[in-house]
């Protein structure tokens, strides 16, 4: 008879306890990243007899009332399960690699190909640090390019990820009619941690 080497209940119980312990050390706030597959983890189930392929989902359900989640999944899973219309996809344009409007187009098309989709729900001008960077993109025609992509439905919402100071942030907010922005914020910058 095969002996079960893994307890799903113990896994969820112990992991939940450790996560709660970590959350308590950071004033109720914690960034947590799960490695591997979030669901249908049949590899883990093969190498850990008794492991449920959906254990990570069970673990996350322990925190459903107290956390916000961002889930990253493989594009082939979206395509295979025909769920594109049920999820939002976000990706970014790395401005430091873009030298022309054609360069933006080539990068965007490659992203669509890799994501196996025809549109992006949230598209970010990535890692803007100041208005000067945005103005360089404007000079190569990025505003018209964005409007074209929004008009034909390839980009639903346009935004930027920001990595600069508050003065430049306010200037960038006013530089374009953005739908959203993502700012860099590190909880650890706000607290001293005793070890």
Residue 112 has pLDDT above 90, yes or no: yes
List, for residues 9-35, the tens digit of each pLDDT value: 888 888 888 888 888 877 776 666 666
State which fold the 80-188 domain adopts.
TIM Barrel (3.20.20)
Q: What is the CA radius of gyration of the chain?
A: 21
Q: Is 10 exposed, middle or buried (0-12, 13-18, 19+ CB in 10 A)?
A: exposed
List, for residues 37-94, the tens digit of each pLDDT value: 676 778 777 777 788 888 888 888 887 777 766 666 677 777 676 777 878 889 999 9
**Domain limits, the chain:** 8-71, 80-188
């Amino acid at each position: 008879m095969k002996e079960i080497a893994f307890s799903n209940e113990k896994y969820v119980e112990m992991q939940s306890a450790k996560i709660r312990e970590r959350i308590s050390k950071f004033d109720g706030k914690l960034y947590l990243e799960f490695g591997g597959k979030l669901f249908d983890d049949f590899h883990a189930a093969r190498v850990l007899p008794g492991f449920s392929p959906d254990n990570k989902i069970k673990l996350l359900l322990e925190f459903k009332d107290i956390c916000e989640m961002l889930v990253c999944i493989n594009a082939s899973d979206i395509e295979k399960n025909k769920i594109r219309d049920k999820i939002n996809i976000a990706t970014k344009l790395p401005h430091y690699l873009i030298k022309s409007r054609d360069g933006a187009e080539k990068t965007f098309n490659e992203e669509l190909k890799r994501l196996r989709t025809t549109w992006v729900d949230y598209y970010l001008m990535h890692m803007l640090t100041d208005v000067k960077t945005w103005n360089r993109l404007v000079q190569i025609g990025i505003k018209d390019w964005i409007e074209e992509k929004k008009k034909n439905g390839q980009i639903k919402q346009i935004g930027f990820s920001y990595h600069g100071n508050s003065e430049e942030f306010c200037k960038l907010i006013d530089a374009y009619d953005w739908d959203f922005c993502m700012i860099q914020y590190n909880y650890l910058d706000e607290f001293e941690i005793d070890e």
